[in-house]
Amino acid sequence: MDVDEIFKVPKFSSSGLGNKRKLPPNPSPELLRKLRAEEESAQPPTKRPKSVTMEEVDDEDSSMSVDRADFAPGGDADYFEEEDDEGRFFGGGLTSEQKEILNIFDRAGGEGIQDEGEEELSLASIRRLLLKLERAVNKNQDQRSKYPDDPTKFIDSEADLDSAIKSLLPLAQAPTLAYSELVRSGSLALLIGLFTHENLDIVLDVVEVLHELTDEDAGEDVEDASAEETEEALKLLIDALVENSIFELLVDNLGRLNETEESDRVGVFHILGIFENILGLNPELAAEMITKTKILPWLLNRVQAKAHDENRGYAAELLSILLQNSPPNRLAFAKADGVETVLKVLSQYRLRDPVDADETEFMENVFDALCSALSEQSIKQQFLAAEGPDLMILMMKGKLQSKSRAIKTLDHAMSGPDGSPVCAAFIEALGLKTLFSAFMGKNKKGKTGPVLPPSEDVGHVLGILASLFTHLESDSTDRLRLLAKFVENNYEKADKLMDIREAAVARLKATDAEIEAEKRELEDDDDDILSDEDVVYLRRLDGGLFTLQTVDYLLAWIVMEDDGIRVHVLQMLGRKNLSLQDIVSTLRIYHDNVDDTTSTESADQGPSQREILFNLIASLDPSSSDQ
């Protein structure tokens, strides 16, 4: 009999076409028993001898083997067939029926193992794969149009289409060879057209393939292709995807997916991955993604989910990427009430820490998205209206992971020419006590005394203090309260600034030494990047100069405004063989390199940062005002 005919089922895809994303049922035990009975009836019966002598037993007559199977313990079909070197019998633990079942599946599983996916990719094999896709698409469309109400008529063509799409996955191994052919032949447009397919499993197949093809690691194992050639192939593919409205189609299909089902959840993950892959190669497409689709409302809704999962974390990461360097996207974020949304999401971390590393990354991405958005004046106003400063101060008071991110957020909110209202709100919310507690490292105590705050926290605290001195009006009550903090407890805050300054100077000296050593090694290189002054300056900023500039900016303010602090700072400088001229030298470098671009939205710009630095230098070194 034909065993394959009995076990024939529709050629479903791995995700289960026809019955959505469910594997076809296995053959029932009754069917298998019937099959075995039919196979036995087709064979001539074996006559067993009426009697068996001892000699026949010793000769291990084959007929006796049949008898032994009848009384083998547990009906084990292999009980008398398997033995070790010492003659001990173990058996396979399977009955004859169970063993027959396994044999049937072994025979069926051995068929069709070799397929086109294992063939080494060449231009000819790639064209065969694309032709296979074209034929499968056409056949499926034809049968669906002929028999729209009878799935049994087109289910086989759907399975063939599923196989044809998945056979394109290996193309990611040879992007330089495959991608140009994929675009040139029109197969990419054909593939993208399947996003409107009635069967969602076909759509998910296409999403999986595009996620693989756009991955930044595509073709990394190909030795013949250079990184430039691979990047050029990826760019060609992504340009073609954008021309075929990939953003709109992917976002539209997000609405079709139900993440309670595993395959749909994976599909959402792949869609977000495609977005990340595209933006990683061409960040300028971020604005187009927001303006042409409804991805922003979807992301804001997704990060609000109460249960945390991988896709929620991915949504937060993509939101952060979209807002990072795109003012138009930030303004769209403001119009979508994004500030209110992310503050609600972050408020849960005022009383608890994230449960694991994945949720910690989610929290950090939401904070990063807010920090990027706070570069815009309109978003700072929304931040104030939503009582964002109050929430951040509450987080700063705690000892949870959100504390550091809250300090960073306040630094971004209070900086720039539009930060004055946030500075006033910070003082009004009694934030100075909490700020200086974090500055002095008094929130945590170790066995030997106070534990110093992380260096990143110190940098953002210095940024907040610099913004307060920049924006608070002279002789105002708020400014006097700020200045008094540097006087109390025998000028301990001023001493702390001097300690931070000393550490920053040491870092900067080490950085300058590294730069000089690299210059000597590359002095004969025409393409020496260190010959660019801007590159060297950025390197020095990262190596301690930025911290040094901020500290000296603060020291200049407090020395200028309080005589007692001035005397104390001069004494501390003298102990290190320094003077105010060292602070002036730092401020001159700061003045010469400051980016003085200001927001055109602000109604009251006030003095620019360059003007403030010029006046501070003049107050510390009167002779410089004549230059």
pLDDT at residue 153 in the model: 84
3-state helix, strand, coil in the chain (%, to 5): 70, 0, 30
DSSP classification of residue 508: H
Strand segments, DSSP code E, in 2-124 are: none
Cβ(166)–Cβ(207) below 8 Å: no
Q: What's the pLDDT tens digit per position in 134-162?
A: 999 999 999 889 888 888 888 898 899 99
User: Does the pLDDT at position 595 exceed 50?
Assistant: yes
pLDDT tens column, 10-63: 343 333 333 333 334 445 555 555 555 655 555 554 444 444 444 444 444 444
Please count the CA atoms within 13 angstroms of the CA of 595 that sit on its side-chain side.
7
Q: Is 449 helix (H, G, I), strand (E, B) or coil?
A: strand
Give the angle subtended at the CA of 547 by the CAs of 447 and 470, to the nearest 5°: 110
Question: Mean pLDDT, to the nearest integer, of 527-539?
Answer: 76
Rounded Cα distance, 364 and 402, in Å:
8
CA distances from 534 to 353, 530, 531, 613 (A): 41, 9, 9, 20
Confirm if 382 and 334 have CB atoms less than 8 A apart: yes
Mean pLDDT computed over every residue of the chain: 82
pLDDT band at 96 (very low <50, low <70, confident <90, very high): low
Q: Give 228-253 pLDDT, tens digit per residue.
A: 888 899 999 999 999 999 999 999 99
**Distant-in-sequence, close-in-space partners of 183: CB < 8 Å, separation ≥ 6:** 236, 237, 240
| CA pair distance 3, 39, nearest whole angstrom | 10
pLDDT tens digits for range 309-356: 999 999 999 999 999 999 999 999 999 999 999 999 999 999 999 999
Query: How many other C-beta atoms are found inside a 10 Å radius of the C-beta of residue 618?
Result: 16
Q: What is the pLDDT of residues 103-128, one digit of tens each?
A: 665 555 444 434 444 456 889 999 99
* Alpha-carbon span 198 to 196, nearest angstrom: 6
Judge contact between 493 and 467, C-beta under 8 A: no
Q: Looking at residues 191-203, what average pLDDT do you find?
A: 93
Q: What is the full DSSP assignment across 126-193?
A: HHHHHHHHHHHHHHHHHHHHH-TT-HHHHHHHHHHHHHHHHTTGGGGG-HHHHHHHHHHTTHHHHHHH
Partner residues linked to 449 by β-bridges: 446
pTM exceeding 0.85:
no
Q: What are the tens digits of pLDDT across the range 358-395?
A: 999 999 999 999 999 999 999 999 999 999 999 999 99
